[in-house]
């Protein structure tokens, strides 16, 4: 009991601190991305977004739409982080059989489902604006969809299992089984080739003000979603404790 009380006294202020930092930095990033950044295109910065198969694209309009990547990239990175947390929590549960790791695993699954969906939505918006086609069944997009469906499938299957111990065991094994999915997403272009998705954003990020804001955007949104992970983890732990008392 004393250990739980000490944990709560540390965990709650830490959660609030992470949430305040994430929200504050995210608002700053959005303000600079939407209002402060120069909308005029620096020479050579758009090369990555002018593939030869779309010569009709308007470079000026496409350059201005790069702002969505300050959300798209951090969401993709957060999805990767949630996938790693999911796998690590699965391993720790299989070793210890402690419910707290199951709570962490499911919190990561829920947050990962949201960030993965945001990654696809922002990517769709960019693709529709850039090439007039938001979705193509290319490797990067298809593997991202499979990853998102794996998050959703776990939540649905888990809800259908009544026995709590079997539910936790299945979730842990499932989490380990999905480990290869994010590396598949990350390396899909190198493995299967590129159709429309940019291979990298290096040429755009060489523009100083864009690279500086991108460096802030990544930790900002990761902290923002980490706050929701921490809140959801605590909610799931409390729900598990209540079920044990019944």
User: Domain coordinates of the chain in residue numbers?
Assistant: 15-33+59-245
Rg of the chain, C-alpha, whole Å: 20
Q: Are 136 and 195 in contact (CB under 8 A)?
A: yes
Q: What's the distance, Cα to Cα, between the start and end of the chain in Å?
A: 19
Question: Which pLDDT score, from 0 to 100, does residue 148 have?
Answer: 96
pLDDT in tens, the chain (246 residues): 555 677 778 888 999 999 999 999 999 998 888 887 765 555 444 444 444 444 444 554 555 667 888 899 899 999 999 999 999 999 999 999 999 999 999 999 999 999 999 999 998 888 777 667 778 887 888 889 999 999 999 999 998 888 889 999 999 999 999 888 888 877 766 666 555 555 445 555 555 556 777 889 999 999 999 999 999 999 999 888 887 776
Question: Which pLDDT score, from 0 to 100, does residue 194 have?
Answer: 58
pTM: 0.85
């Amino acid at each position: 009991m004393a250990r739980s009380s000490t944990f709560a006294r540390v965990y709650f202020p830490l959660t609030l601190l992470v949430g305040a930092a994430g929200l504050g930095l995210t608002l700053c990033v959005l303000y600079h991305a939407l209002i402060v950044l120069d909308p005029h295109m620096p020479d050579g910065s758009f090369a990555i977004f002018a593939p030869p198969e779309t010569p009709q694209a308007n470079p000026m309009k496409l350059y201005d739409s790069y702002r969505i990547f300050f959300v798209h990239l951090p969401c993709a990175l957060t999805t990767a982080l949630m996938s790693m947390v999911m796998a690590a929590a699965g391993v720790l549960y299989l070793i210890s059989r402690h419910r707290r790791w199951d709570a962490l695993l499911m919190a990561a699954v829920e947050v990962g489902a949201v960030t993965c969906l945001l990654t696809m939505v922002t990517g769709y918006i960019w693709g529709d604006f850039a090439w007039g086609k938001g979705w193509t069944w290319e490797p990067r997009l298809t593997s991202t969809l499979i990853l998102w469906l794996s998050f959703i499938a776990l939540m649905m299957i888990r809800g259908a299992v009544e026995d709590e111990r079997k539910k936790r065991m299945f979730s842990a094994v499932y989490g380990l089984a999905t480990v290869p999915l994010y590396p598949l997403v990350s390396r899909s272009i190198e493995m299967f080739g590129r159709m429309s998705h940019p291979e990298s954003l290096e040429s755009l990020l060489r523009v100083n003000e864009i690279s500086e804001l991108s460096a802030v955007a990544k930790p900002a949104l990761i902290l923002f979603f980490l706050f929701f992970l921490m809140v959801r983890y605590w909610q799931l732990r409390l729900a598990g404790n209540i079920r044990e008392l019944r």
